[in-house]
Amino acid sequence: MNVLIINAGSSSLKYQLMDPETGAVSAKGLCERIYIDGRLTHNANGKKVVKDIPMPTHSEAIAAVLAILVDPVDGVIKSTDEIDAVGHRVLHGGMKFSDSCIIDDACIKAIEECIPLGPLHNPANLMGIRACQAVMPNTPQVAVFDTAFHMTMPPKAYRYAIPTEYYENDDIRRYGFHGTSHKYVTKRAIELMGRKDMKLINCHLGNGSSLSAVKDGKCQDTSMGLSPLAGVPMGTRSGDIDACVVQFIMNKYGMTADECLTMLNKKSGMLALSGVSSDFRDIEQEADKGNADCALALDKFAYEVRKYIGAYAAALGGLDCLVFTAGVGENSASMRARICEGLEFLGVKLDPEKNQTRGKEAVISTDDSKVTVWVIPTNEELMIAQDTAALVNAAKAGK
């Protein structure tokens, strides 16, 4: 089975053609500068192809993707009929979606209704969906929501302590993000541990970071909130912050709410603390050279992640498995060590030699550690492909 995975942004579109059973990717690429002029970067058959193609809308971008997939030289399939389904990453499903779904008119209407919750991403996701519908109307399509995995949280975790009217009238609550990644590593951890009945904490750490507390395969709590701004400090996001800080800055510097949120989303986090970069690799290099601000940034990040792990272990009533994933979680042995230092009281014992692993599945805890610590590379595209295939196959079987 071939599943085309689409991740549409406001002026870009990422794609992969994948076999959901094996995880094999036959082609992947990026359309960028949509609405400006258009550029396609395509990777397949062991080579990279870059083409400037007019893309006045997302429809032309999808058409360009389909054209190169069937190209006699650079393509990987003979006809678009070989694409069995399309899986779309959709940021915000609000309270309407607790799982992936086959896209129909009702699904599109519900995604539209979630635009106030995801004003930057949901419109772009809809552009990708509509473009695919226009170009390949007979191919089944599935929406995979970044918020869906976290919808098993109980009210005590997702409700904010603000007047109920804002929850009832405006759906303001904790949603959480990176759900497709958390779902994938949870599923993989269950397979690797050989059990579902366990207390698990996932640490998705990268330029964007979030943690989730999972019991028996279901999310109980997560660090991001109504938006991806909440939680631990990130590349350019502040993470958790006293709301009065926002009021103070707005009043003193004459900022609008949008301007202040832009600062918190794009000019804060590790970039602001280090004064050097939002990239953890750059910060670690400068810290090694004696840069005190960079050292503080790394200490702050590790401290906040460790606090969340402790809080989630308390919320779960214990901890069986701790998972590190995403760019920093998978590749930074030093950050994993910083985070785990001080978690011995929970039964976490890191093996310094095993911890040197980079970008591959591995147990990095000692043999006698009460908590098994894993590095599990995330694969959101595979999760999207598998969800898409399962729904499409079930729909066919139902007919």
- Ranges assigned E (strand) in the chain: 3-8, 13-18, 25-32, 39-44, 47-52, 85-90, 101-102, 141-145, 199-204, 210-215, 218-222, 321-325, 362-363, 372-375
Q: Of 146, 221, 320, 387, which is the active-site residue?
A: 146
Q: Are 228 and 206 in contact (CB under 8 A)?
A: no
Three-state DSSP class for residue 44:
strand
In degrees, to the nearest 5, what angle opens at C-alpha 261 toward C-alphas 130 and 296? Answer: 120
Q: Are 235 and 207 in contact (CB under 8 A)?
A: yes
299 part of the active site: no
Q: Are 136 and 86 in contact (CB under 8 A)?
A: yes
Q: Are 143 and 88 in contact (CB under 8 A)?
A: yes
Q: Please give the positions annotated as active site.
A: 146
